[in-house]
Amino acid sequence: MLNKKTEKKPQATNQFNQAVAGNSLTRDAWRRLKKNKMAVISIFIVVIYILLAIAAPILPIYPYDEIVLDHQNLPPSFTQNAGTLLLEKRLADLYTQAWRSGSLEVSEAEEEMLWTWIDANETNKVWDYMLEKGEQMSADGSFTFSATDQRRIERLEEKLMSELKVSIKSLWYTDPISNEREKLSSLTTEQLIDLYLDLSGTDIDTLKDQYTREIEQQLLRGIKDQNPELPDAEYQQMLEREIERLSESRFDSLIKSNILTKITNQIVNDANSHLGQMATDESVLFPVKEEISLNDTISAEVEASRINERIYYLGTDYQGRDMLSRIIYGGQVSIAIGFVGTITSVLIGIILGALAGYLGGKVDYIIMRIVDIMYGLPYMLLVIIAMAIFGRNILNLFFALAIISWLTVSRMVRGQIMSLKNQEFIEAARSMGASTWRIIFKHLVPNSLSVIIVFSTLRIPAFIMTESFLSFLGLGVSAPFASWGSLVGDGVGSMALYPWKLFFPALAMTIFLFAMNFLGDGLRDAFDPQSKNQL
């Protein structure tokens, strides 16, 4: 009904055949907004954030949920890759141990300084200092590692060189007779089982036992995730019921994925041993793409890269996940919650507020009393209860935030509409026989839209803050997903040792919230120039 007029407006020309176009209030507002430098910068920042969030899957960043346990808590660095950082860490550790065991001698003053740091719980400084000192002493020959330590360092270096990340791009099955290739996943379960039996040499019964057990485990894990804290007997019952419920085809596909995983694992192992050799003697340049065949029939295209060659610009978290990609993906969730929450709340708010404001009387009374009652309930408590009832996931978070946040919007819209509805142009529309819906959506809502837009812009940061707060409390987004709030929450715990885990997500969030607020202020000034607070 609203966008019926998407067709191009007919032009109006004057006697000199020049087009005469009107200047709508919105266009005036846009012109004023463009003069506001802060607002324009804010628009750019917001657009960049949104683009980053949307483009996250195609950006050249490491997966946000890939756990690399070796890379825990690496500091941010633009130049050193993870391997160097790990080696440094190890060296610092060894130098410190050497100092403690007395094989590395330091002066009296240094000793005192080091102990002050240890007493003040500033071990970071000790490590940094010992690394610098140790390197210096090793360089001028006044200190050498013991043989065992030397061996340790060499082993670590070797490991850092050879450790690979192998990812499988595609799995192929080559028919031995016709020599035709097809995707392994397109084979039937029976064919796969046969192939696997060939490959592994086990007999069918052992395999059957194996995969049945594994599938049961998998199902049990799923059940435990959904209903935590139940007695074991109950889990067993639920599992049996679950298995009974499983359809033939579903079970079949479970077996199929199980077998595929087994084959994949074998290929990864093969690739690791095969390429690992190449990595140590540096005969090839990584990352490398290669075709690996397990036997005559199964082959795979794999891509391998040295995992320790990664550079973490913003460091890693406690599970070795890249903070940069976690912040970008976290932004995706946070911004989405901000926008979706605002849009839903504004839609509900506009409809209910407009009805209450325009119809008045009993309708107004009922809607507004509902709003009053819901206002009376503690906001956070409602969200927490909703999250507890419906379970913790992102959709429920959207839902929980949306059901309570329309209250303010509906009140505001109602007020706007009450002040507009006695304007003469509304009476004029009514005297022309316009229907209630037409009056609300063609006259009242467009005229209060400026206020609504400003309000929603300022509302988005509020939503992001609420979500962050919930995630901080552990009620919002849960791992492996991230949001700015959950990242900050994770970072707070270890902010003395690893400040970058708190600093970068907080910075990303602050910049966005600043931009949103400036944009909101700019919009308000643009829509209502008289409201500008100036001399």
Q: Which residues bind another protein (CB under 8 A)?
A: 9-15, 20-26, 423-425, 427-435, 438, 443, 446-447
Measured from the CB atom, the residue of 5 and 245 that comes closer to another protein is 5
Half-sphere exposure of 454 (CA within 13 A, CB side): 18
Half-sphere exposure of 182 (CA within 13 A, CB side): 10
Measured from the CB atom, the residue of 243 and 428 that comes closer to another protein is 428
Question: Shortest gap between Cβ of 431 and another protein (angstroms)?
Answer: 5
Quick one: tokens of 431?
């005297």
Measured from the CB atom, the residue of 102 and 433 that comes closer to another protein is 433
Measured from the CB atom, the residue of 24 and 273 that comes closer to another protein is 24
Question: Shortest gap between Cβ of 26 and another protein (angstroms)?
Answer: 8
Residues 276, 306: Cα–Cα separation, whole Å: 9
Closest by Cα among 235, 135, 256, 114 to 184: 256
Question: Shortest gap between Cβ of 344 and another protein (angstroms)?
Answer: 25
Rounded to 10°, the helix 25-35/445-473 angle is: 50
Question: Shortest gap between Cβ of 414 and another protein (angstroms)?
Answer: 18
Q: Is 157 exposed, middle or buried (0-12, 13-18, 19+ CB in 10 A)?
A: middle
Closest by Cα among 414, 405, 389 to 339: 405
Q: Is 314 exposed, middle or buried (0-12, 13-18, 19+ CB in 10 A)?
A: buried
Question: Shortest gap between Cβ of 307 and another protein (angstroms)?
Answer: 59
Measured from the CB atom, the residue of 230 and 428 that comes closer to another protein is 428
What is the per-residue DSSP string for 257-269?
HHHHHHHHHHHHH
Measured from the CB atom, the residue of 98 and 417 that comes closer to another protein is 417
Question: Shortest gap between Cβ of 325 and another protein (angstroms)?
Answer: 44
Question: Shortest gap between Cβ of 13 and another protein (angstroms)?
Answer: 6
User: Alpha helices, DSSP H only, in 281-393?
Assistant: 323-359, 361-376, 379-390
Residues 87, 156 contacting (CB under 8 angstroms): yes
Contacts with 256 (C-beta within 8 Å, 6 or more apart), sequence order: 185, 189, 192
Measured from the CB atom, the residue of 25 and 48 that comes closer to another protein is 25
